[in-house]
Amino acid sequence: MIFKILSKGDLNIALPQSFNKDTMIDFIENLIDGNKNAKGAKIYFDFSALEFIEPEGIVTLSNLIEYFKLQRLNIYFKNHKHGSGALRFLDDAGFFKYYLKQNIFEGSKVRDTTIPLHILPEEKQQSYLLNTLIPWIGERANIGGDPLDLIRVHLEEIFHNIIFHSGVKIGCFFAQHFPRKNQISIAIADFGHGIPENVRTIYPSMSDKDALKQAVEEGFTTQSNVRNRGAGLTMLVKFVAQKNDGVVLIHSGMGYLSATMGPKAPNITSRSIPKGYYPGTMVQVLLRTDTMKMTESSLEKEEFQW
């Protein structure tokens, strides 16, 4: 779908000092309106203030660029060579190499604690999961066998959502290990239809925040031909929050959902974003590396076939 360009002029947008889930919505609002219309014909991303960027910031920034490329807008970077830690991190993460076809700083290389940024069409996403992401998680967490295979099974639901529900069939992927926190952060995003829009094919009047909560309810699906339908996203939340003591965060439309560990079941909360929205879906999975070594008997085995 072709959206409008609200202004034929230049749009200079400064990246926030700290680019994360708390600042990304305001950043998006500066660039597009509620109908995904671009606010300028020439987009200048100014990196001068950036000091720290987290995985969700990287995939959001990449998603915006990919979206503007589809709209055939002119995109430029400025003040991106001053050598701050955040810019060197982006360079090591492959961000500048992907978009500018070269690294910015001498000696840039992929860090052991990250998987470089990937922008993948649907036909390459399964391979990325099986051959890149899962082996890297196993190496960083020093696990293998059934625990690692169960992580793969549950992460497949996010890939399924991008392939079958977003409508754009392309996603941005980034993963980072934080050894001091015993945590792996996996951020996956697309600028497609969004989860609430899909849920409203069943419940037309449902709000975005309620739609996100509905999407993780056991047994719910918008696809009538899916085996074990509705189980995937529910089991992802159960596995990450309850078995791993991790966190699942979902931003989509004007809704935000958080799933954390509860006494007997995941503690799931959803709320409306007070200002702005996320055009598409961003899922962040925070896995604890110090709780991954679980015995097979302590885990519920689920078989998923899409």
Does residue 86 register a pLDDT over 80? yes
Residue 36, sorted as left (phi over 0), alpha (psi -120 to 50) or beta, turns out to be left
Q: Which residue has the tokens 């015995």?
A: 295
Does residue 131 register a pLDDT over 60? yes
Task: Work out how many domains the chain is built from and give that number.
Answer: 2
Q: What is the DSSP letter of 211?
A: H
Residue 3: inside a domain: no
Domain boundary among 79, 111, 143: 111
The answer on 224 and 79 residing in a single domain is no
Average pLDDT over residues 93-106: 96
Greater model confidence, 235 or 286: 286
Does residue 2 register a pLDDT over 60? no
Residue 31: inside a domain: yes
The answer on 194 and 261 residing in a single domain is yes
Q: Which residue has the tokens 């400025």?
A: 78
Contact present, 117 and 95 (Cβ < 8 Å) = yes
Average pLDDT over residues 183-190: 95
Greatest distance between any 2 Cα atoms in the chain: 61
Residue 233 Cα distances to 24, 218, 230, 285, 296, angstroms: 24, 8, 7, 12, 21
State the pLDDT at residue 221. Answer: 66
The answer on 46 and 161 residing in a single domain is no
Domain boundary among 96, 111, 126: 111
The answer on 140 and 98 residing in a single domain is no
Average pLDDT over residues 164-189: 88
Q: Which residue has the tokens 């992802």?
A: 236
The answer on 259 and 141 residing in a single domain is yes
The answer on 141 and 68 residing in a single domain is no
State the pLDDT at residue 21. Answer: 94
pLDDT band at 100 (very low <50, low <70, confident <90, very high): very high
Q: What is the CATH number of the domain that holds 281?
A: 3.30.565.10
Structure tokens at 166: 């977003």
Q: What is the CATH number of the domain that holds 36?
A: 3.30.750
State the pLDDT at residue 25. Answer: 95
State how far the Cα of 30 lies from the Cα of 25, in Å rounded to an integer.
Answer: 9
State how far the Cα of 235 lies from the Cα of 67, in Å rounded to an integer.
Answer: 31
State how far the Cα of 161 lies from the Cα of 169, in Å rounded to an integer.
Answer: 9
The answer on 135 and 29 residing in a single domain is no
Residue 2: inside a domain: no
The answer on 257 and 177 residing in a single domain is yes
Structure tokens at 295: 């015995």
Average pLDDT over residues 181-187: 96
Owning domain of residue 101: 10-111
Contact present, 55 and 176 (Cβ < 8 Å) = yes
pLDDT band at 159 (very low <50, low <70, confident <90, very high): confident
State the pLDDT at residue 162. Answer: 66
Coil, strand or helix at 42: strand
pLDDT digit string (tens) for 12-41? 999 999 999 999 999 999 999 888 888 988
pLDDT band at 70 (very low <50, low <70, confident <90, very high): confident
The answer on 216 and 105 residing in a single domain is no
Task: Name the nearest CA neighbour of 62 among 49, 80, 75, 50.
Answer: 75
Residue 216: inside a domain: yes
Average pLDDT over residues 98-110: 95
State the pLDDT at residue 145. Answer: 86
State the pLDDT at residue 192. Answer: 83
The answer on 291 and 278 residing in a single domain is yes
Does residue 128 register a pLDDT over 90? yes
Share of the chain above pLDDT 70, in %: 87
Neighbours of 54 (CB within 10 A): 21
State how far the Cα of 184 lies from the Cα of 55, in Å rounded to an integer.
Answer: 10
Greater model confidence, 176 or 292: 176
Neighbours of 295 (CB within 10 A): 8
The answer on 137 and 92 residing in a single domain is no
Does residue 161 register a pLDDT over 90? no
Give the global pTM.
Answer: 0.90
DSSP assignments along 235-285, one per residue? HHHIIIIIIS--EEEEEEETEEEEEE--SSS-EEEEEE-SS--EEEEEEEE
State how far the Cα of 12 lies from the Cα of 30, in Å rounded to an integer.
Answer: 10
Share of the chain above pLDDT 90, in %: 59
**Which residues on neighbouring strands pair with residue 5, listed in sequence order?**
38
Residue 67: inside a domain: yes
Residue 179: inside a domain: yes
Domain boundary among 111, 146, 175: 111
The answer on 232 and 175 residing in a single domain is yes
H or E element that contains 13: strand 10-14
pLDDT digit string (tens) for 211-220? 999 988 877 7
Average pLDDT over residues 274-299: 80
Does residue 5 register a pLDDT over 90? no
Residue 185: inside a domain: yes
pLDDT band at 90 (very low <50, low <70, confident <90, very high): very high
Residue 47: inside a domain: yes
State the pLDDT at residue 43. Answer: 95
State how far the Cα of 55 lies from the Cα of 186, in Å rounded to an integer.
Answer: 7
State the pLDDT at residue 229. Answer: 38
State the pLDDT at residue 301. Answer: 46
